[in-house]
Every structure is written in C-alpha cells, then in structure tokens.
Amino acid sequence: MLNNIIKMENIEKWYGKVHALKGVDFSVSEGEVVGLIGENGAGKSSLIKIISGLFPPDKGKIYWEGREVTIDSVKKARELGIETVHQGGLTINYMSVADNIFLAREIKKNVGPLKIIDKVKQNEKAIQLTSELGLKIDSPEKEVRLCSGGEKQGVAIARALYYKSKLLILDEPTEGIAPSGQKNILDFVRKIKEKNLSCIFSTPDVYIASPVVDRYVIIAQGKIIGEINNIATLDLEEIEEMMILKRKLVESES
C-alpha cells in the first residue's frame, strides 16, 4: 500500500452563495498520477486552488505526508513541495523564459559585497530544463509572450521540475493546445512519473489523460461522484456517462 502524499477530508468551499465544493474527500499517493475529471464548473479548479494555497477551504482538513497542515499561502504550498500550473498558464508574458522559470527564486552570485542575479547560470539551466522536456525554445531570453501555448505550459512545468516539487498539479494543461503540444504534455507527465513524483491532472476530457493516469477521480457539481482504481478495467465511455448522468440528476432535482 502506497502512502498518501496528500489527503483532504470533507472540504467545503463557498463563493458567496455558490456552493462550489460540497464535502470533498480527495487523496493522492506517492508516485501516483490522479486524473481529476469533471465537466466545466464541476469544482476542479476550486479544489486545486485550495491545495495550491490561493485560498483556504471554508471547512475540512488537509494532511500532507500524514500530518495535518494549513496551506495558507502559495509560499507555504511550495515549501511543502506543491507546484501548480494553473489553468491558462500563469506565466508572465513580458518576461523571458529563463526569468519565468526562476521568478522569485533567482540564482544569485556574489559580486563584491552584493548578491546579484546570475543571468548566465539561469540561462544555462533554463536551456537544460526546457530541452530535457523536449522543448525547442530558440533562446532562454525569448519573451514568453512570443512562445506557443504548449511552450508556455512547458515553461511552467520546467519551473515545477526545477524546484523538485513532490506534487505537481496541472489544471487543464491541454486546454487550447494542439495535438502535438498535448503529446508533449503527456510526455512531461511520464517524466514526472519516472521520478516517482505525484501529479494531479485535471481535465474535462477523460480520453486525453488516459495514457498517463493511474486513477480517476470524478467530480460533478462540487461532489466526488466516483473513483476508478483499476485502470485495466477502465471504460472511458462509462466515466463520460457518469459525468453526464450526474448532471441530468442534479438538473432534475433543482
């Protein structure tokens, strides 16, 4: 039995009157890739933002490596080893690829009494990291706004890998990405797996994540409605039906 890296119990989240998470239990084991599957508005990003320290849950407990924790900031999440590639990227467009990777954690060198950013080292390391991910970015000094959507995701993932995060969260990483870029993203996830790191891969599309996912957790209307542990018996159509059926049930209730 693998250990949980993160375990969340009875998580509730309200946005004013919107009840976005309704008592969610969710966990990820060491070295496991969990597919967090749900339709638009199901609550995937809300759960991910709580894990990433963007805001706390209104109720519920979070355990990290078996100990109860309060993730009250992005800094705290990072200290624990959680790195998130948020939906739509979150790279800073007018900064270079290298500056984005090392943002807030720059490589420094001593020049006399001063500590200054070591741009040469950062650039070298950025080239190494992005090429390890199979990205062919012409220069680490290229501004991120000139990169493709897939390259931007890669920059965010390079950042996560560099900090040796234990849990990498990808919130809809394939959204708006062409098929070739999607393949790159799946390859990134395979690399994460090779390093025995954990990953949450959120998407409304069960088919996209299936080559890399170890277990599916299905969320609908703020509730976990099913889990599929045995990938060997996986029926993707069944998962899709579960998602749609749940929507119909909730619609008929309201």
What is the binding site for ligand ATP (CB under 6 A)?
15, 18, 20, 38, 40-46, 87, 204
In this complex, which beta carbon is closest to Mg ion, that of residue 27 or of residue 87? Answer: 87
Q: Least distance (Å) from ligand ATP to the CB of residue 167?
A: 18
The per-residue DSSP string of 91-128 comes to --TTSBHHHHHTTTS--EEEETTEEEE-HHHHHHHHHH
Residue 52 in the binding site for Mg ion (CB under 5 A): no
Only one of the segments 40-48, 155-163, 205-213, 218-226 lies at the binding site for Mg ion (rule: CB under 5 A); that segment is 40-48
Work out how close the CB of 180 gets to ligand ATP at its nearest, in angstroms, rounded to a whole number.
23
Torsion, Cα 174 177 179 180, to 10 degrees, reads: -110
Give whichever of 8 and 20 is closer to Mg ion, judged by the CB atom. 20
**Cα 172 to the center of its chain, rounded Å:** 8
Q: What is the CA radius of gyration of the chain?
A: 19
Pairing of strands 108-111, 114-117: antiparallel
Q: Give the integer Cα–Cα distance in Å for 194 and 121.
A: 26
Under rule CB under 5 A, residue 130 binds Mg ion: no
Phi-psi region of 90 (alpha: psi -120 to 50; beta: other; left: phi over 0): left
Nearest approach in angstroms of CB 47 to ligand ATP is 7
> Which residue lies nearer to ligand ATP by CB, 83 or 171?
171
Q: How many residues bind Mg ion (CB under 5 A)?
A: 3
- With CB cut-offs between 5 and 8 Å by kind, which of ligand ATP, Mg ion, none does residue 20 bind? ligand ATP
Q: If you count them, how many residues does the chain have?
A: 254
Q: Which is nearer to ligand ATP, 11 or 135 (CB)?
A: 11
149 binds, among ligand ATP, Mg ion, none (CB under 5 to 8 A by kind): none
User: Would you give the binding string for Mg ion spanning residues 63-92, x where CB under 5 A is met?
Assistant: ------------------------x-----
In whole angstroms, the minimum distance from the beta carbon of 15 to ligand ATP comes to 3
| Exposure on the CB side of residue 177, measured as CA atoms within 13 A | 25
Q: How far is the CB of 203 from ligand ATP (least distance, A)?
A: 8
Contact 218, 242 (CB under 8 A): yes
Task: State yes or no: residue 45 binds Mg ion (CB under 5 A).
Answer: yes
Distance in Å, CB of 223 to ligand ATP, minimum: 11
CA 40 to each of CA 36, 43, 102: distance values in angstroms, whole numbers, following the listed order: 12, 8, 32
Shortest Cβ distance from residue 195 to ligand ATP (Å)? 27
Measure the CA–CA gap between 201 and 48, rounded to whole angstroms.
Answer: 10
Q: Are 167 and 200 in contact (CB under 8 A)?
A: yes
Q: Minimal CB distance to Mg ion: which residue?
A: 45
Q: Which residues bind Mg ion (CB under 5 A)?
A: 44-45, 87
